[in-house]
Amino acid sequence: MVNFTSKQAMNNKVRIQDSFWDPFMELVRGTVIPYQWDALNDAIEGAEPSYAIRNFRIAAGLEEGEFGGFIFQDSDLAKWLEAVGYSLAMMPDPALEQTADEVIELIAKAQHENGYLNTYFTIKKPGQAWTNLHEAHELYCAGHMMEAAVAYYDATGKRKLLDVMCRFADYIETVFGREPGQIRGYDGHQEVELALIKLAQATGEERYVKLAQFFIDERGTEPNFLVEECRDREGFSYWTQKKQPIPTVAQMAYNQAHKPVREQEVAIGHSVRAVYMYTAMADLARLTADESLFSACRRLWDNTTKKQMYITGGIGSTHHGEAFTFDYDMPNDTVYAETCASIGLIFFAQRMLQLEAKSEYADVMERALYNNVIGSMSQDGKHYFYVNPLEVWPKASELNPSRHHVKAERQKWFGCSCCPPNVARLLSSLNNYIYTSSPSTNTVYTHLFIGSEARFQLAVGEVVLTQQSKLPWEGYVRIELTLVPQETFTLALRIPSWSQGRAAMKINGVLTTYDTVNGYASVDRPWMQGDIVEWELVLEAQLTIAHPEIRANAGKVAIERGPLVYCIEEVDNVTSLSSISIDVGQKLQPNYEPNLLGGAVMIGTEAYANESTSWVDDSPYRPFTQQQALERVRLKAVPYYLWGNRGVGEMTVWIRKGGV
């Protein structure tokens, strides 16, 4: 039983206007989207070619040539188009829209008569579609293009790509299923599931939800589809281009297909696949009121965010398979914390908020957004981290192979370039993450404090409000109600975990009490047009410790201030950074530096540093009794998201507690 009533709630109209976030969005609009367009067209000097557009041209019969790039290269164009859709929704741009229209024509030309669309199989393996779901990313690419189609349709009202992708989805529906002759299987990389939900919401077609549900329900059941499919291929692997041993069901944990999704206890395997799947599970739990799915979502949320999440909102502790490892295993130096995974975590959080408004989801969403995600992009919008480490020693990144994946500098467009367009599509759709509303309970929830104008349709009528925010630098938010219904409705403001509950609300200048419901300050009252709600959050720099089971952070603290995690960089401090220990008894002193990287609050405090001048004899080890007094030094920390923008150097988030 599909419940589409919440569709409206998701499509609240929100427009961002915010001094912190506008520059990011402007960067996406003005730089990232054009730059990525060049990248898709292989027009960036010194970067590996993408081949994405060229593949479509070849598949469409407009050009001769070989397929280039990864097997999932189509998804890069899809993610770019999705970002374009969001961007056009925010700000019209006829030239960009025309470019998009043209590329959509190209995509349509590459579609087969029966609806199938995938340039790799069209160019390179005609007739072999759906023979390697385990590795070939066909449904994954389809899903991304569906998301693009929906975004572009929402922004422009143009149905061309939407129709293309509905035709593809209709075809997929005939290929996959439980009837004789159908494939009772699913993709090796989850994505189509969440995309089908979007397609259903855009078109009102409930059967797309059912198809998503099929994929989710089948996943991990016995006999294991992916294992059997490998057996049918006699173990032939696309990646190694030779026969491999048939994998075990347990090895399908990499694809979260080792057991039915409702039985999965912990986040495991490739982290992007995992969070994309959890996102679709939460969508389905909401739309079909599936309690067992909901409880699996809660369990996987808890494990992911409480036992396997870095303080920056990064997930995935190992580059081997870009994967989760196990509870509390969070090395800072050999970390993965892929940008895409944090973006997927934000998707998951958003869907959980749609299921139930609990501030912990928004806390995590905010953590991932303000740290791991925006930190992945350079200030020029043209360089990206794929891996987002919490500790970097550039020489080790260069010379110790265990750390080669940890780059000390943001890179140009990647060969496997999933992250940059993912950042673009998230930032350009950020307006969708700030609020949710519950029309039935007549509640408007504010999850993120980002300046914006928002319009909501509740049962009692329409609400329009304007939010102004001084986040992340100051804990002050002001909401003006510019349109209110006659009857009462509830305004619910998140009490961020970082405020430690120290949050005061004023209505029209008068301090007001509020009910705390699931971490939200809730005020249910008759509102007047022009009412001003001020939300004063204590935003103090603080030292944070990690759970004692997180061995990597033993004896260390991190600095946080509001939603921002801080780090220390070599450029501001003595080297090596490991020689520094922070004097935990001293005050943390925030200082806004307007000229530094667009303006930011730095934090200064007192610390100790090991002296090194007495190690004249070059011996690597010596008695502790010969240790000299520590030096007193000044420590300066910068927001994590700004690290690595001032040359190559050491960086660390976790700092030793001093001063022994």
Nearer to a copy of itself, 326 or 592 (CB): 326
Q: How far is the CB of 628 from a copy of itself (least distance, A)?
A: 10
Structure tokens at 505: 């609300």
Whether 416 is a known active-site residue: answer no
Segment contacting a copy of itself by CB under 8 A, of 254-262, 406-414, 530-538, 650-658: 650-658
The beta-carbon contacts of 64-67 under 8 Å, at least 24 apart in sequence, are 66/123, 66/124, 67/119, 67/120, 67/123, 67/124
Segment contacting a copy of itself by CB under 8 A, of 149-157, 399-407, 476-484, 503-511: 399-407
Structure tokens at 402: 């265990």
The only residue of 318, 379, 457, 468 in contact with a copy of itself, by rule CB under 8 A: 318
- 311 binds a copy of itself per the rule CB under 8 A: yes
Segment contacting a copy of itself by CB under 8 A, of 20-28, 227-235, 244-252, 576-584: 576-584
- 239 binds a copy of itself per the rule CB under 8 A: no
- 518 binds a copy of itself per the rule CB under 8 A: no
Question: Within a 10 A sphere around the Cβ of 45, how many other Cβ atoms?
Answer: 6
Q: How far is the CB of 605 from a copy of itself (least distance, A)?
A: 12
Structure tokens at 231: 């057996």
Separation CA 552–CA 111 (nearest Å): 50
Segment contacting a copy of itself by CB under 8 A, of 1-9, 14-22, 38-46, 393-401: 393-401
Closest CA to 264 of 304, 309, 305: 304
DSSP 95-128: HHHHHHHHHHHHHHHHS-TTS---HHHHHT-TT-
Nearer to a copy of itself, 217 or 322 (CB): 322
Separation CA 209–CA 645 (nearest Å): 44
Segment contacting a copy of itself by CB under 8 A, of 62-70, 79-87, 350-358, 609-617: 609-617
Structure tokens at 199: 């397609």
Separation CA 154–CA 173 (nearest Å): 24
- 557 binds a copy of itself per the rule CB under 8 A: yes
Separation CA 323–CA 340 (nearest Å): 12
- 358 binds a copy of itself per the rule CB under 8 A: no
- Among 166, 340, 418, 567, which one carries the catalytic annotation? 418
Nearer to a copy of itself, 331 or 389 (CB): 331
Separation CA 401–CA 594 (nearest Å): 39
The only residue of 468, 576, 597, 631 in contact with a copy of itself, by rule CB under 8 A: 576
Q: What angle do CA 291, 296, 299 make, to 5 degrees?
A: 125
Question: Within a 10 A sphere around the Cβ of 400, how many other Cβ atoms?
Answer: 13
Nearer to a copy of itself, 311 or 450 (CB): 311
- 656 binds a copy of itself per the rule CB under 8 A: yes
The only residue of 185, 519, 644, 658 in contact with a copy of itself, by rule CB under 8 A: 658
- 26 binds a copy of itself per the rule CB under 8 A: no
Separation CA 364–CA 372 (nearest Å): 11
Number of residues interacting with a copy of itself: please give it, by CB under 8 A: 64
Segment contacting a copy of itself by CB under 8 A, of 43-51, 148-156, 466-474, 618-626: 618-626
Question: Strand 532-537 to strand 520-525: parallel, antiparallel, or no bridges (unpaired)?
Answer: unpaired
Residues 497-520, buried b or exposed e (16+ Cβ, 10 A)?
bbbeeebbbebeeeeeebeeeebb
Nearer to a copy of itself, 81 or 552 (CB): 552
Question: Strand 655-657 to strand 580-582: parallel, antiparallel, or no bridges (unpaired)?
Answer: parallel
Q: How far is CA 154 from CA 8, 78, 419, 649, in A?
A: 13, 15, 23, 44
Q: How far is the CB of 396 from a copy of itself (least distance, A)?
A: 6
Closest CA to 638 of 576, 570, 540, 587: 570
- 274 binds a copy of itself per the rule CB under 8 A: no
- 554 binds a copy of itself per the rule CB under 8 A: yes
- 561 binds a copy of itself per the rule CB under 8 A: no
Segment contacting a copy of itself by CB under 8 A, of 169-177, 290-298, 431-439, 605-613: 605-613
The only residue of 550, 564, 600, 602 in contact with a copy of itself, by rule CB under 8 A: 550
- 622 binds a copy of itself per the rule CB under 8 A: yes
- 544 binds a copy of itself per the rule CB under 8 A: yes
- Among 97, 193, 322, 360, which one carries the catalytic annotation? 322
- What residues between 326 and 355 interact with a copy of itself by CB under 8 A? 326, 328-329, 331, 333-334
Phi, psi of 476 (to 5 degrees): -130, 130
The only residue of 584, 596, 597, 648 in contact with a copy of itself, by rule CB under 8 A: 584
Whether 340 is a known active-site residue: answer no
Residues 6+ away with beta carbon under 8 Å from 38: 44
Q: Which residues pair with 580 in a beta bridge?
A: 609
- 522 binds a copy of itself per the rule CB under 8 A: no
CA-atom Rg of the chain in angstroms: 25
Q: How far is CA 247 from CA 186, 230, 259, 269, in A?
A: 17, 8, 14, 14
Residues in the site for a copy of itself, rule: CB under 8 A? 302, 305-307, 309, 311, 317-321, 325-326, 328-329, 331, 333-334, 393, 395-396, 399-402, 500, 542-551, 554-555, 557-558, 576, 578-579, 581, 584, 610-612, 615, 618-627, 656-660
Please give the positions annotated as active site.
322, 418
